[in-house]
C-alpha cells in the first residue's frame, strides 16, 4: 500500500477495484494483526471491550471506539442495569 501511495497509484487502483473488495481485504488482513493485540484490553474491561469489539465488527471502527468509551463511562458511573 505504501508503494501504491508513493507512486500515486491509489486513485487509479480505486477506480478499477470495487470498494467492497478493498474493504473485505482490509478486514481479512486486519483481524489477525489487530485483534490479538487488543484482546488483553478486552480482558481488563470486558463489558466495554466486548461491546466495542462487537460494534467494530458490524460497523465502522470509529463507532466501536466511541461506543466502547461510552459503555466504559456508564459502567464506571454505575448507571448500568442493576446498579441501583
> Residue 36 pLDDT more than 90?
no
Q: If you count DSSP H runs as helices and E runs as strands, how many of each does the chain have, helices first?
A: 5, 0
> Where in the chain are the domains?
17-77
More reliable by pLDDT, 25 or 48:
48
C-alpha cell at 22: 478493498
Q: Is 17 exposed, middle or buried (0-12, 13-18, 19+ CB in 10 A)?
A: exposed
Mean pLDDT score, 23-50: 79
Task: Return the half-sphere exposure (C-beta side, CA atoms, 13 A cut-off) of residue 13.
Answer: 12
| pLDDT reading at 71 higher than 90 | yes
Per DSSP, 82 falls in state: T
Element (H, E) at 12: helix 10-16
pLDDT for 68 beyond 70 = yes
Amino acid at each position: 500500500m505504501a508503494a501504491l501511495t508513493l507512486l500515486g497509484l491509489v486513485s487509479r487502483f480505486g477506480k478499477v477495484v470495487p470498494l467492497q473488495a478493498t474493504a473485505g481485504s482490509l478486514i481479512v488482513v486486519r483481524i489477525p494483526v489487530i485483534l490479538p493485540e487488543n484482546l488483553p484490553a478486552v480482558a481488563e474491561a470486558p463489558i466495554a471491550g466486548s461491546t466495542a469489539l462487537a460494534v467494530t465488527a458490524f460497523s465502522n471502527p470509529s463507532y466501536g471506539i466511541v461506543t466502547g468509551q461510552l459503555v466504559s463511562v456508564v459502567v464506571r458511573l454505575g448507571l448500568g442495569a442493576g446498579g441501583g
